[in-house]
């Protein structure tokens, strides 16, 4: 096959790929304030924090990196966008977005929620029922994780694994992939960080196996690996008191028994005390090992091949709390094709991540140099003040010395005057 034929096949495959990929929602905030016509702020509370469109203090591209930023400290935030409802039955579901905690967040959410299409967006709040909650959550040093929460039969189920999130100030790409074979994958910056099956990593269903309630450990089951040696005997000289009177102690000369009572020497640790005697341990000849409780099939377990399925997906929302504001959300994507999501991630976050990193590094370097210059200037000023103080001290010493010499000279002059002149 020639090069032109290979190129034609590649183009054809790419065309099929693009046709098959379905994008349900994509938001990159490239049209200025028009985003306000697509996003609905909740009115459930009167003091929700305000969102603003910005690329932040550092970025890879001043326009492409614009996103929604939290702008007020210690506030709840609630906004959402609606799209045509769909079901993910029989196909992958991919949720992807970028987060930048440029404020060096101390406590706050950076996750998204996917809601049913019939959500009342103007009344969205923390207790609103959702399908999926996904993304980073940071609070202090103890909580730095990625939430992956699914709603199953009206109950929210948290993943049992701990997935660590990024906690620096740069933009990061978060991707959740949910497959119809009931497997999942979490990626950060287009790299897999966790994967598995829904049934294994969440408690959606009762366990397949349970301990047999009829099984009991046999009475003669010996699970002691070691036992006392019956032939081992305690030495006759073993028992010694733990404390003894101090043999070097002497009764004070001024001790009066009538007043002070009978004198007793203080107690000290006994160097010959050996502690409680215990016979040595030997292998137990009757040891049978740890008894394992037999298991049986759980009669309450029933497999469900539709755990992954959500029938009426139609809203993506930001419903979170932040102590320190400044987080920027961008590049939202909901689609049914993993490769398409990866490609979009590369053409958005992938293009601007290095320039953003460089701009941040340049700012940090400039700030560091400015701080070093201030420190140097302060040290110079302090050295100048010290020199002035030293000069003043030297001048004072000189003045004192001159005064003493003048006084001494006057004294000598007086002594040289003849007595008849006095």
pLDDT in tens, 102-142: 999 999 999 999 999 999 999 999 999 999 999 999 998 88
126 and 240 co-located in one domain? no
Q: For residues 51 and 68, is the Cβ–Cβ distance under 8 A?
A: yes
How many structural domains comprise the chain? 2
Between CA 392 and CA 118 the distance in angstroms is 82
97 and 168 co-located in one domain? yes
Give me the CATH number covering residue 263: 2.10.250.10
Whether residue 419 is contained in a domain is answered as no
Q: Is 49 helix (H, G, I), strand (E, B) or coil?
A: coil
Between CA 144 and CA 102 the distance in angstroms is 16
User: Which contiguous run of DSSP H or E holds residue 410?
Assistant: helix 349-416
179 and 72 co-located in one domain? yes
Give the pLDDT score at 6: 43
101 and 242 co-located in one domain? no
61 and 131 co-located in one domain? yes
Token reading at 180: 């119809």
200 and 314 co-located in one domain? yes
Give the pLDDT score at 418: 53
Residue pLDDT, tens place only, 350-362: 999 999 999 999 9
Whether residue 104 is contained in a domain is answered as yes
Give the pLDDT score at 13: 43
117 and 244 co-located in one domain? no
140 and 266 co-located in one domain? no
247 and 204 co-located in one domain? no
First to last CA, the chain: 135
Give me the CATH number covering residue 166: 2.60.120.200
- Is 184 labeled as ligand-binding? no
Beta carbons within 8 Å of 130's beta carbon, 6+ residues apart: 113, 114, 115, 116, 151, 156, 317
- Is 402 labeled as ligand-binding? no
Range of the structural domain that residue 150 is part of: 23-208+306-355
Between CA 144 and CA 104 the distance in angstroms is 13
Domain boundary among 224, 256, 276: 276
- Is 111 labeled as ligand-binding? yes
Give the pLDDT score at 18: 47
Q: For residues 344 and 333, is the Cβ–Cβ distance under 8 A?
A: yes
Whether residue 298 is contained in a domain is answered as no
Listed in order, strand segments (DSSP E) in 189-274 are 191-197, 209-211, 226-228, 243-245, 267-269
- Is 248 labeled as ligand-binding? no
**What confidence tier does 21 reach under pLDDT thresholds 50, 70, 90?**
confident
- Exposure b/e, 345-364, CB count within 10 A at least 16 = b: beebbbebbeebeebbeeee
- Is 137 labeled as ligand-binding? yes
**What confidence tier does 366 reach under pLDDT thresholds 50, 70, 90?**
very high
SS3 content of the chain, % helix, strand, coil (to 5): 25, 30, 45
């Amino acid at each position: 096959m020639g090069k032109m034929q290979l190129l034609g096949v590649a183009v054809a495959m790419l065309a099929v790929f693009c046709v098959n990929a379905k994008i349900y929602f994509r938001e990159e905030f490239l049209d200025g304030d028009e985003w306000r016509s697509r996003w609905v702020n909740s009115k459930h509370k009167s003091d929700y924090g305000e969102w603003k469109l910005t690329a932040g203090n550092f970025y890879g591209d001043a326009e492409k990196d614009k996103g929604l930023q939290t702008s007020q400290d210690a506030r709840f935030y609630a906004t959402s966008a609606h799209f045509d409802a769909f079901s993910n039955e029989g196909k992958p579901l991919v949720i992807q977005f970028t987060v930048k905690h440029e404020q060096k967040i101390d406590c706050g959410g950076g996750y998204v929620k996917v809601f049913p299409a019939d959500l009342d967006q103007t009344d969205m709040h923390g207790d609103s029922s959702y399908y999926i909650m996904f993304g980073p959550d940071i609070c202090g040093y103890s909580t730095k994780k990625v939430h992956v929460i699914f709603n199953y039969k009206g109950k929210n189920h948290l993943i049992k694994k701990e997935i660590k999130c990024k906690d620096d100030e740069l933009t990061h790409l978060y991707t959740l992939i949910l497959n119809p074979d009931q497997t999942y994958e979490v990626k950060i910056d287009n790299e897999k960080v966790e994967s598995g099956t829904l049934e294994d990593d969440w408690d959606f269903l009762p366990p397949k196996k349970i301990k047999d309630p009829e099984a009991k450990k046999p009475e003669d089951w010996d699970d002691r690996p070691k036992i006392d040696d019956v032939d081992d005997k305690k030495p006759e000289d073993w028992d010694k008191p733990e404390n003894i009177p101090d043999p070097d102690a002497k009764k004070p000369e001024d001790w009066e028994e009538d007043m002070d009572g009978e004198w007793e020497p203080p107690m000290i640790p006994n160097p010959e005390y050996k502690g409680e005697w215990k016979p040595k341990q030997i292998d137990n000849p009757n040891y049978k090992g740890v008894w394992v409780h037999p298991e049986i099939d759980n009669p309450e377990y029933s497999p469900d091949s539709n755990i992954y399925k959500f029938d009426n997906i139609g809203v993506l929302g930001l419903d979170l709390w932040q102590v320190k504001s400044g987080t920027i959300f961008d590049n939202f994507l909901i689609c049914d094709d993993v490769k398409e999501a990866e490609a979009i991630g590369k053409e958005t976050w992938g293009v601007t991540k290095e320039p953003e990193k460089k701009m941040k590094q340049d700012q940090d370097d400039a700030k560091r140099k400015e701080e070093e210059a201030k420190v140097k200037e302060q040290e110079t000023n302090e050295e100048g003040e010290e020199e002035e103080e030293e000069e003043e001290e030297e001048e004072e010493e000189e003045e004192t010395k001159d005064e003493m010499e003048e006084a001494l000279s006057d004294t000598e002059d007086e002594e040289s005057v003849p007595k008849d002149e006095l």
